[in-house]
Structure 1
Amino acid sequence: MTTPPEVPLPMRRNGFDPVPELGEIRDGEGIARVDTAFGMSAYLVCRYEDVRQVLSDPVRFSSALSPAPGAEHLSAEEQATMQAGQFIAFDPPEHTRLRRVLTPEFTVRRMRRLEPRIAEIAEAALDDLERAGKPADLVEHFALPVPSLVICELLGVPKADRAEFHERSVRLLDTSLPMEQRVAAQREDRAYLAGLVARAQAEPGDDLLGTLARNHDLSTDELIGIASLLLLAGHETTANMLSLGTLALLQHPEQLAKLRDDPAQAEPAVEELLRWLSVVQAAPPRTTTEDVKIAGHAIPAGSLVSFSLPAANRDPGLLPDPETLDISRGAAGHLAFGHGVHHCLGAPLARMEMRIAFPLLLRRFPQLKLAAPADFRAFSVVYGLRTLPVTW
């Protein structure tokens, strides 16, 4: 009989909350040796200030030197090809070169132009949810299609390809699957995106891929890598924030009522939900380039350093009463989007999608409630729900 895999400590949750062991590390030594989700040994950092320190210093804590998950299944040539364009895996100045190309496309001002279209997409998803009838799965009919369609339109991905892309994304992020299966999903993803990039290069449209192909000196491999990263990050994170955030509000009805009844609560509510839920369990690990000290502990050069973003965002050093969900406080300074040079490029888009989608959902269905228990994705690098059955 096969022993079921164990959820790695940095990814363990009790519902919305990081498990007590992570809080004990944070409030005690501040750091511990653990196995990561990809089977590598690392120093796990849990305190808010320590996580910020590491994320702020790409010179001593390198992204480029950290081993890529599944690299042992790839040749050196394939590793280089797969990594091209994946700017989160680089340090400055290479990271800066790639990110500078994309930054103008994700400014707050540029994202505001998308606001009417995002509202249309959200309203259409709510129509679909209503047509599905009671009870319905909020993940299938609302939380997933809204960000998925937004990022697919932004990048020029045909709507018909959305479901297939999501299925591959789930496999890429599921740490309970053998690494060979996740690597196979990477290869399938790359093959699909290679065709998308080829079309963008041949006939550049007004979407983001067409703009990048037309206006910037990027290799084909870099365009494929950028598209892969943006598609994965652009729909998985926000989709799980919408589903998990809705569940959190349903289980805190007084918070739900505040958001539903007061439009001014949308912006602070999004920030607090980002902090309290921390769906991205950890930023990609870093490798120390010299001997360093974290939380008073000596860490040798060449060591892998990982993070618990949920534990850091629940640190009493960040704000008072961190275990309580309070949408009125706004939770400025949280680490849900990371920190430093690798702070999430798509944060303005994700914030806008949530700021629009949550109020529309709650006002359209003021009697929204759970129809059955939600199904949590325990093994996913991006925490969230497989299903959220609701009625109204």
Structure 2
Amino acid sequence: MSEAISYEDAWARIDKFDPPALFDELRKERPLARMIYPDGHVGWIATSHELARQVLGDPRFSHSLEIGHFPVTKYGGPVPQFPAMPGMFIHMDPPDQTRFRKLLTKEFTVRGVSRLTPVVEAVAAEQIAEMRAQGDTGDFLEVFARPLVLKVLAPLIGLDYGERHRFADAPAVMNDPFGDPQAAMAVFQQVGEFVHETIARKKATPGDDIVSRLIATGELSDEELGNITTLLLFAGYETTEGALATGTFALLHHTDQLAALRGDLSKIDDAVEEILRYVTVNQYETFRTALEDVELGGEFVTKGETVTVSLPAANRDPAKFGCPADLDLDRDTAGHVAFGYGVHQCVGQNLARLVLRTGFRSLLEAFPDLRLAVPADEIPLRTKGSVFSVKSLPVSW
């Protein structure tokens, strides 16, 4: 297996929840392997847990699109280098990245997020009541996962949930690998207009939300505020929804694990971590560019080459997790990389955990007979794009 693999090979999932079988072969023989991207660029893909953490934690690898080279878009074309977007710190390196991230870190501490518990519980209860009111069958995405996440996230950021028609569909359109690039640009501009209207309103009438508090610091321009707000929406919405929906599918499919959790809900925190590891919805757009020549995993990465890190592959590494293809809610999941690793590790991970923990617990307590409404093999999956998820999840209760 000395030849370079194709970018397309890394999308070839073999089962409902499993990453491509190729990753198991690569991890054994060459955990850092050559990979050819659609535009012809030859870079690398890292599939082991050790190498994933090494790349993501090494300052010699950059996540900046300004100096780096991400060789393919969702639509198959190359991404040109372009100046950093002010405030879009996910594609910055320290110290610029540190400046913006520091403003948000205090918003998402364990203590700070814990204060939101009553809010999340109330929203979950509201959605359960709506489920009961509509009957005994529905699409889990529409009746629970999506509204729960958006009803929590939007007001926390400072966005009006009542105007969700202006922003709720944007992440899905932006991340659709088969979509129209012009449509994606149009929806991005639409969200930008809404966000800047929101910023203007918050300047006039501040609220108890992240946008208002960022404005109050006096440290950010309107452009920086707008890009940070958009980033929080795009990074937090679709990923948490995907983890909640796909995690629920995994529980309903693995009935032994579901029964064990129902029998002891005190294990909910451990269950959330295992579900995060098992489904790893952030599937394929974790990449870095070498700022200098780097020896890595017995290979020589040249300055300017792209290294893609497969988080799903890293979280299925048997050297770190025994029998990694099994969903095991009693597993020790310490060190999983579902939220990434290093300076770009997800800033909102504590909020995501709260939403998942509350969502799963509320469902299991409210619906002792929650089950799939169709055979598991008929659940449509979204296997391409930045977030692995179900397209719909018909359930009965």
Within the candidate set 373, 377, 380, 1:375 is matched to 380
For the structure 1 residues 227 and 57, does the alpha-carbon distance in structure 2 shift closer, same or farther, using more than 3 Å as the test? same
Specify the alignment match of 1:10 in structure 2. 10
Tell me, yes or no, if structure 1 residue 308 matches structure 2 residue 310.
Answer: yes
Deviation of residue 310 (structure 1)? 0.5
Deviation of residue 70 (structure 1)? 6.0
Deviation of residue 192 (structure 1)? 2.1
Deviation of residue 39 (structure 1)? 8.3
For 1:52-67, what aligned pairs fall within 5 Å after superposition?
52-58=53-59, 60-64=60-64, 65-67=67-69
For the structure 1 residues 80 and 131, does the alpha-carbon distance in structure 2 shift closer, same or farther, using more than 3 Å as the test? farther
**CA–CA distance in 1 between the matches of 2:342 and 2:102?**
15
Tell me, yes or no, if structure 1 residue 387 matches structure 2 residue 388.
Answer: no
For the structure 1 residues 89 and 163, does the alpha-carbon distance in structure 2 shift closer, same or farther, using more than 3 Å as the test? same
Specify the alignment match of 2:142 in structure 1. 140
For the structure 1 residues 314 and 32, does the alpha-carbon distance in structure 2 shift closer, same or farther, using more than 3 Å as the test? same
Within the candidate set 198, 201, 212, 1:199 is matched to 201
Deviation of residue 178 (structure 1)? 4.2
| Letter paired with 1:62 | S
Structure 2 unpaired stretches of 5+:
1-5
Deviations 1:166-203 (A, max 9, x none): 31110111122244433333222222212222222232
More divergent stretch after superposition (330-339 vs 171-180) = 171-180
**2:68–2:289 contact (8 Å) kept in structure 1:** yes
**CA–CA distance in 2 between the matches of 1:180 and 1:54?**
33
Q: Secondary structure at the match of 1:228?
A: helix
For 1:297-376, what aligned pairs fall within 5 Å after superposition?
297-372=299-374, 373-376=378-381
Deviations 1:269-307 (A, max 9, x none): 000000011000035311101111222111111111111
Deviations 1:239-288 (A, max 9, x none): 11111011101111111112222121100000000001100003531110
Within the candidate set 97, 100, 104, 2:99 is matched to 97
| Letter paired with 1:331 | T
For the structure 1 residues 313 and 230, does the alpha-carbon distance in structure 2 shift closer, same or farther, using more than 3 Å as the test? same
Q: Secondary structure at the match of 1:166?
A: coil
Specify the alignment match of 2:47 in structure 1. 46
Tell me, yes or no, if structure 1 residue 273 matches structure 2 residue 278.
Answer: no
**2:150–2:161 contact (8 Å) kept in structure 1:** no
More divergent stretch after superposition (90-99 vs 63-72) = 63-72
For the structure 1 residues 362 and 330, does the alpha-carbon distance in structure 2 shift closer, same or farther, using more than 3 Å as the test? farther
Deviation of residue 128 (structure 1)? 1.4
More divergent stretch after superposition (186-195 vs 293-302) = 186-195
For 1:137-216, what aligned pairs fall within 5 Å after superposition?
137-216=139-218
**CA–CA distance in 1 between the matches of 2:38 and 2:129?**
38
**1:267–1:330 contact (8 Å) kept in structure 2:** no
| Letter paired with 1:391 | S
**CA–CA distance in 2 between the matches of 1:336 and 1:318?**
14
Q: Secondary structure at the match of 1:8?
A: helix
**1:9–1:34 contact (8 Å) kept in structure 2:** no
Identity over the aligned pairs, expressed in percent? 38
TM-score normalised according to structure 1 size: 0.92
More divergent stretch after superposition (28-37 vs 313-322) = 28-37
Specify the alignment match of 1:230 in structure 2. 232
Deviations 1:40-96 (A, max 9, x none): 6531111110010000012x10112334676999999xx547x22111101100011
Specify the alignment match of 1:21 in structure 2. 22
**CA–CA distance in 1 between the matches of 2:80 and 2:16?**
39
Q: Secondary structure at the match of 1:95?
A: helix
Q: Number of matched residues?
A: 383
| Letter paired with 2:387 | V
Q: Secondary structure at the match of 2:307?
A: strand
Deviation of residue 158 (structure 1)? 1.1
For the structure 1 residues 366 and 38, does the alpha-carbon distance in structure 2 shift closer, same or farther, using more than 3 Å as the test? farther
Q: CA RMSD in A?
A: 2.3
**CA–CA distance in 2 between the matches of 1:270 and 1:223?**
32
| Letter paired with 1:378 | T
For 1:53-92, what aligned pairs fall within 5 Å after superposition?
53-58=54-59, 60-64=60-64, 65-67=67-69, 80=83, 83-92=85-94
For the structure 1 residues 74 and 61, does the alpha-carbon distance in structure 2 shift closer, same or farther, using more than 3 Å as the test? closer
More divergent stretch after superposition (147-156 vs 178-187) = 178-187
**CA–CA distance in 2 between the matches of 1:239 and 1:375?**
16
Structure 1 unpaired stretches of 5+:
1-5
| Letter paired with 1:244 | T
More divergent stretch after superposition (215-224 vs 65-74) = 65-74
More divergent stretch after superposition (122-131 vs 163-172) = 163-172
**CA–CA distance in 2 between the matches of 1:237 and 1:172?**
13
**CA–CA distance in 2 between the matches of 1:261 and 1:94?**
48
Specify the alignment match of 1:3 in structure 2. none
| Letter paired with 1:46 | T
Q: Secondary structure at the match of 1:43?
A: strand
